[in-house]
Amino acid sequence: MNAQLDMLIGYMIIGVGTIVITIFLFNFLTRGFFLKYLSAKASRGKKVLIRIYNGGETYFQTGKISSNVLEVKYRDGSEGSIEVAKKSYRCLGIMCVDLDEEGNVFVPNSNQLCAFDPVKYNHLLDRAINAPSVVDEKITRQMILGAIIVIGIAIGFGLFVVYSKSDVIIAAIKTLQSTGVVQ
């Protein structure tokens, strides 16, 4: 009985671990949107999903609306409060708001960025122009050699499995020959 219970607990741990890893991987692939969405959805209307535009990037946070004022905590830790004047909309079954972090104002159209400071983000252009070449012959050779080694190990493992099971394969062929299926 203890062995079966231990096996059941082991399967439960593996199942829960797989679910947790899948959720956090999905959250990572959606750049933090998934858990913020679930938080807003689980609050049953107490929280609002906020899409925050910060220069060249967009990220999501949750905030609360209390007495017609939206309270939000930005990624850098600063807090802001903005008076809500029918700027929210429903998306995916929850209330959503688009904000601009630079001016701490609502974005009138969610398809455009506002308060983008080109001087502040000029270093990104400089870094892109002065970036070293991505293609390097040494790295390319190392990648090809690594791929050849991995393929060689896979072929070697396959040959080992076939060789170790050769008596079973020979017995199966003899059985097929004795039945007349293969001659």
Instruction: Verify that 14 and 84 share a domain, yes or no.
Output: no
- Domain around 152: 137-179
- Dihedrals phi, psi of 179, to nearest 5 degrees: -80, -15
Number of domains forming the structure of the chain: 3
pLDDT at 115: 53
- pLDDT attached to residue 103: 61
Domain membership flag for residue 45: yes
Question: pLDDT tens digit string along 114-168?
Answer: 455 566 567 777 777 777 766 677 888 898 999 999 999 999 998 888 788 777 7
Residue 105 included in any domain? yes
Q: Is 57 inside a domain boundary?
A: yes
Confidence (pLDDT) at 118: 64
In this structure, the answer to whether residues 21 and 46 fall within a common structural domain is: no
Residue 47 lies in a domain: yes
Residues 46 and 21 in one domain: no
CB 31 within 8 A of CB 75: no
> 69 and 83 in contact (C-beta within 8 Å)?
yes
Q: pLDDT tens, 7-51?
A: 888 888 998 999 999 988 988 888 888 888 888 888 887 888 888
Same domain, 81 and 153: no
- Name the residue type at position 64: K
